[in-house]
Structure 1
């Protein structure tokens, strides 16, 4: 049906056509909304229009970011921004490939949850949600950070944000791909669909991440916030650990347990200690493979970072 033919239909028929679009087809709904003011009116005239957009985003596994918790943005705005900026991205970890992956996870979660629902993890979580999956998003195994923190780089007077630090890789057969440089990198800030994706298969309010690489640090807690934990939240918390200084003993223990990662480097002991000065340098050599949910408690879902 041509665009002009649709616009010539009576409003009742236009609504019927709109209602045939899958309630999880974010791109089509947004494209229809943006196609003409009369089409936008089909959505804006709904009794609870923002709930429609909230459920649409939820069914695509998309949530809010930290600075949006105060209610100064609508779900419609989030949906439109995501599709306009990223909906047709061709990166294998983004665009329709990502949306379909998210939809499949949410279809499974919807067997146990209501649309728009977010779960609170506590000691009794598995008593009520025995079959709910808390598997971490696959994108964590396709993200790297800058190998070195750019000296003197600040953003509006603050340290480099995770949006300009974490970036997407293109891996083959589970092997980390060669790291692209500079502008060739797909930084997180360019991919709102990735940033907004729920961190876990079933969206949850609270979790914590155990120290990376067994370095003696405190866990990173995301504690009972008012929105679902997203990929952005996790990467931001991991980034906070990256400049953690490694002692000689910690670097030595790490290398001895990851000999395969360093086999082709032919480093001397001095090279090891000169290069492995912080967690950022370790992740540049041994990237994140996945995050695994190892237990659940009153504090939240506990995840450990696994590396290649």
Structure 2
């Protein structure tokens, strides 16, 4: 199995195969196409060994007792691995109305050195990437605590949560104005790396820009997620983000208007 899941609009593996070949068959992105399929397959094999997961039977948690969270926290089982693709996703810097969904909002970064300034096609045009399983083993339910335990992002896909499911879930909350308490919680939690060793003057200047999740994400990249716990509604994670180099962030902001106008 190549670690590929279904989107809500999919109806058959045959259609998925045709779309993948037509749109992504000759993809030159270094983290897509054959490279990503191989990476996914290796993670599937690892999850099969670690969890006794059979991908042909569906998501791993389909066999768990929904009221029993113990199996997620056993010492001999590693925490599910998140797809590497999430490290290479960049959202537009331009704020959007909270009610507006732009299918081309998420971009696929190219090279580490050009992470904030260079874009490939929108991520939505990479069928292999968006259909890749978000976690290994795959799960039907997943939760992220980003601010406090009172505010969370929930994801669900009965066939296994994909990268696209996760990004769409975060996107729906990207442009909501953050309260002071939420912003402080984010800056001391998932986005604590933003102001590491930065002068206090920079902190004040950046506060307005960081009034939304989109603003925070524009200065960082997804680094991973820490396992917090589990309930009958799936594993709970706290995401973490690493600050992009200052020069990259500055260039990104300067070029964002022109780049996004072309989209």
For the superposition of Structure 1 and Structure 2, which TM-score range results when normalised by the shorter chain?
0.7 to 0.9
**Closer, same or farther: CA 284–190 of 1 in aligned 2, 3 Å:** same
Q: Which of residues 165, 168, 181 is equivalent to 2:105?
A: 165
1:275 paired to 2:204: no
**Closer, same or farther: CA 135–294 of 1 in aligned 2, 3 Å:** farther
TM-score, normalisation: structure 2 = 0.75
1:139: how far off? 1.2
What residue in structure 1 maps to residue 44 of structure 2?
106
For structure 2, list consecutive stretches of 5 or more residues without a partner in the other structure: 243-263
List, as ranges, runs of 4+ consecutive aligned residues in structure 1 with deviation greater than 6 Å: none
Say if 1:209 and 1:305, in contact at 8 Å, map to a contact too.
yes
**Closer, same or farther: CA 286–76 of 1 in aligned 2, 3 Å:** same
1:228 paired to 2:160: yes
Q: How does 1:206-217 map to 2 (within 5 A)?
A: 206-211=141-146, 214=147
TM-score, normalisation: structure 1 = 0.65
Q: Match of 2:208, SS?
A: helix
Q: Match of 1:101, SS?
A: helix
Say if 2:110 and 2:120, in contact at 8 Å, map to a contact too.
no
1:230: how far off? 0.3
Aligned residue pair count:
231
Q: Identify the range of structure 1 (122-131 vs 199-208) with the bigger mean alpha-carbon deviation.
A: 122-131
Considering Cα pairs closer than 8 Å and 6+ residues apart, tell me whether 1 or 2 has the greater RCO: 2
Q: Match of 1:97, SS?
A: helix
1:142: how far off? 1.3
Q: Match of 2:211, SS?
A: coil
Aligned equivalents of 1:76 and 1:190: distance in 2?
Answer: 18
What residue in structure 1 maps to residue 88 of structure 2?
142
Aligned equivalents of 2:121 and 2:197: distance in 1?
Answer: 26
**Closer, same or farther: CA 62–268 of 1 in aligned 2, 3 Å:** closer
Q: How does 1:175-186 map to 2 (within 5 A)?
A: 177-180=115-118, 184-186=119-121
For structure 1, list consecutive stretches of 5 or more residues without a partner in the other structure: 1-58, 153-157
Aligned equivalents of 2:14 and 2:110: distance in 1?
Answer: 31
What residue in structure 2 maps to residue 242 of structure 1?
174
Q: What CA deviation, in whole Å up to 9, does each residue of 1:33-53 have, x standing for no partner? A: xxxxxxxxxxxxxxxxxxxxx
What residue in structure 2 maps to residue 116 of structure 1?
56
Give the structure with the larger strand fraction. 2
Q: Match of 2:240, SS?
A: strand
Aligned equivalents of 2:158 and 2:89: distance in 1?
Answer: 26
Q: Match of 2:117, SS?
A: coil
